[in-house]
Structure 1
Amino acid sequence: MHALDVLGDPVRRRILELLADGERPAGAVTETVRTEFGISQPAVSQHLRVLRETGFATVRPEGARRLYAVAPERFREVDAWLEHFGRFWEQRLDALGTELARGKREARRKTEDDRPH
């Protein structure tokens, strides 16, 4: 399954957002996702399985619990794929950086001009 097929699902993206904050028990992930999306526990388990089988998440047993975490390797693959399209936004980001710097200079200048001499 292509990485973007996996990430295209809003439930899986939300699960990954939760896991990005650190390792979490499957029960905690399930509870949050069930509350936010109104889906069943088996549906959440299916999404966790897809993330695990496609290499976006890892799972490790700890007693009776299963702890899930983000697996960064697949995100490197996504990043490499997106790199091909960087030229479309790099110029705009550079322009934004220039405008932000200009705004900061003007704000500093205005502050200095407003000071009593």
Structure 2
Amino acid sequence: MADELLALVLAGTKRATAGLLADYDEEGFRPAPGDHSVVHAGDGTPAAVIRTRAVHTGPLSSVDATFAWEEGEGDRTLDGWLEGHRAYVRRAFAAAGRPADDDPQLLFERFDLVWPA
């Protein structure tokens, strides 16, 4: 999946991402506007650098159609985004042994591709 997401970033289709806020807190890092991050290919090779443009947190249900489009995955619709991310959340919570949560807090990040140009 990492290679598929990387391809969307490199093509300019993906300019946003969202993840469980609890995961960011466990890692001890939350991106902030102006931060740079390395995007890795599936084999771990650094493949791109992004710069965070905007960050906000909120429940999964707070996502809007613009963010779903900017995330660039699937059919890019709000309904498709919600379906895909609810499935992801269920899998992530089950794998971590966390209690189910239908509307967990997420970190929503918008970014720009810095390298390769």
TM-score by length of 1: 0.31
Larger fraction in helix: 1
Larger fraction in strand: 2
Q: Which structure has the larger Rg?
A: 1
The structure with higher relative contact order (CA 8 Å, sep 6+) is 2
